[in-house]
Amino acid sequence: MNRTEIKAAAVGLGGFLALYFLPVENLRLQNALLEAVYLAHWYAREHVLLCLVPAFLIAGAIGTFVSQGAVLRYLGRDAPRLVAYGVASVSGGLLAVCSCTVLPLFAGIYRMGAGLGPAAAFLYAGPAINVLAIILTARILGPEMGIARAVGAVGFSLVIGVCMHLLFRKEEEARAAAAMALPPPEARAVGWDVALVAALVGILVFANWGAPQEAEGIWAAVYGGKWVLAGSFLLALAALAARLARCAPGELREWLAASWGFAKQILPLLLGGVLVAGLLLGRVGHEGLIPSAWVEAALGGNGVGANLFAAVAGALMYFATLTEVPIVQGLIGAGMGKGPALALLLAGPALSLPNMLVIGSILGVRKTAAFVALVVAMAAASGMVYGTFFN
């Protein structure tokens, strides 16, 4: 038997033994398995059609229509640092997407030649710098918590991007040299292509606009008309796609093929990660294999262990946009310290177990481990500092 066959036999044997000795009569295991299915069911209904499908189409459009020169000019290795990191953090923050929806967009700009540092800043900023979530945090958990979250999220996106660039500078230089050896991409006209990407972004933003806490104000007004706004962008997208089908059917096929490629790579890992997250932690208000009492007990006080545990737990859990605020509110009511609360708010929205699996398939294990470690360490340290002054 060769090495490949031995590995296959070992995997098969391991799967057989796991099924053979699985304690299916255990009530907690039965409940955890149901929680995994429930969470995946909820994720499929709430996030795939409105979040991931537009994100896949945007990622495919970036690779098909957006000039590689434009990406390199603003996010590439030789772009001015202030411009690159500013564009990455602002564009990521404007989208206000969850930790899974940002992944196809991150993969799209990274493969188009964006530097690792700006791409990592974009990857963190997308889920973390959510204006509505920060406002909701300030109103429910207090203004000092909202300000700390806003400052921490913006600072994190920049620091994490710079650290990733410095840690993997030699690999990035080799990547840039390999890209320079390739023939220059064909120049693309700027116009309706940009309008098509803008229509997709409009659908993504407004279709997923979260419900505000109050019934008045600009956020509530936008929420009341979200489907009108999203529908208007959808009609614009249909008109632009029809024009593309008439004028450039080859580009239409290229766009759809690129989008499908991202979906094939990312979606199975996301759904698999959601199943595992549901199995271990369950849904909000429900338990998986890990009892919620353990989590609540480990988050009390403001010690190093509590802050580190909060950051790690937040990194593993999946938070839909805006759900992290009521979750943290409930944990504070159960005795969670303010420092661990901030650590969870800074690590949770930007990372999740499904998110890590996909990042690993794009960046590799070493870069993914560095990104996760930076987020967790900075979130825990920020929680320690904040808890010292405000606990």
Quote the CA–CA distance of 76 and 115 in Å, as a whole number: 5
Please give the share of the chain, as a percent, with pLDDT higher than 70.
94
Q: How confident is the model at residue 119 (pLDDT cuts 50, 70, 90)?
A: very high
Backbone angles phi, psi at 257, to 5 degrees: -65, -40
- Most confidently modeled of 24-28, 115-119, 289-293, 387-391? 115-119
Quote the CA–CA distance of 185 and 196 in Å, as a whole number: 20
pLDDT of residue 49: 85
Quote the CA–CA distance of 65 and 194 in Å, as a whole number: 8
**Cα distances (Å, whole numbers) of residue 38 to 33, 100, 291:** 9, 18, 17
Helix/strand/coil for 288? coil
Task: State the Cα angle at 201 between 193 and 358, rounded to 5°.
Answer: 105
Q: Which of 96, 162, 106 is nearest to 358 (CA)?
A: 106
Residue pair 328/141 in contact (Cβ under 8 Å)? The answer is yes
Quote the CA–CA distance of 158 and 117 in Å, as a whole number: 9
The pLDDT of residue 189 is above 50: no
Residue pair 273/354 in contact (Cβ under 8 Å)? The answer is yes
The pLDDT of residue 1 is above 70: no
The pLDDT of residue 146 is above 70: yes
Count of structural domains, the chain: 1
Quote the CA–CA distance of 157 and 92 in Å, as a whole number: 10
- DSSP 8-state code for residue 336: B
Q: Is residue 242 part of a domain?
A: yes
Provide the CA 19 distance to its chain's centre, in angstroms: 33
Q: Is residue 149 part of a domain?
A: yes
- Across the range 56-81, mean pLDDT stands at 81
Q: Is residue 12 part of a domain?
A: no
**Cα distances (Å, whole numbers) of residue 87 to 181, 226, 319:** 26, 26, 25
Quote the CA–CA distance of 164 and 191 in Å, as a whole number: 34
* First-last CA distance in the chain: 61
DSSP string, 151-196: HHHHHHHHHHHHHHHHHTHHHHHHHHHHHHHSPPPPP---SHHHHH
pLDDT of residue 164: 95
The pLDDT of residue 378 is above 60: yes
Quote the CA–CA distance of 223 and 213 in Å, as a whole number: 11
Q: Is residue 365 part of a domain?
A: yes
pLDDT of residue 89: 83
**Cα distances (Å, whole numbers) of residue 369 to 83, 152, 166, 372:** 27, 21, 15, 5
The pLDDT of residue 356 is above 90: yes
**Token pair of 298, please?**
């480990």
Q: Is residue 13 part of a domain?
A: no
- Across the range 44-48, mean pLDDT stands at 84
Largest interatomic CA distance in the chain: 70
Q: Which domain holds residue 89?
A: 26-390
H/E stretch holding 31 reads helix 27-43
Q: Which of 269, 276, 278, 357 is nearest to 39 (CA)?
A: 278
> Any idea which residue has 């090495």 for tokens?
3
Which residues are within 8 A (CB) of 132 and not within 5 positions of it... i.e. 6 or more apart?
96, 209, 210, 212, 219, 322
Q: Is residue 9 part of a domain?
A: no
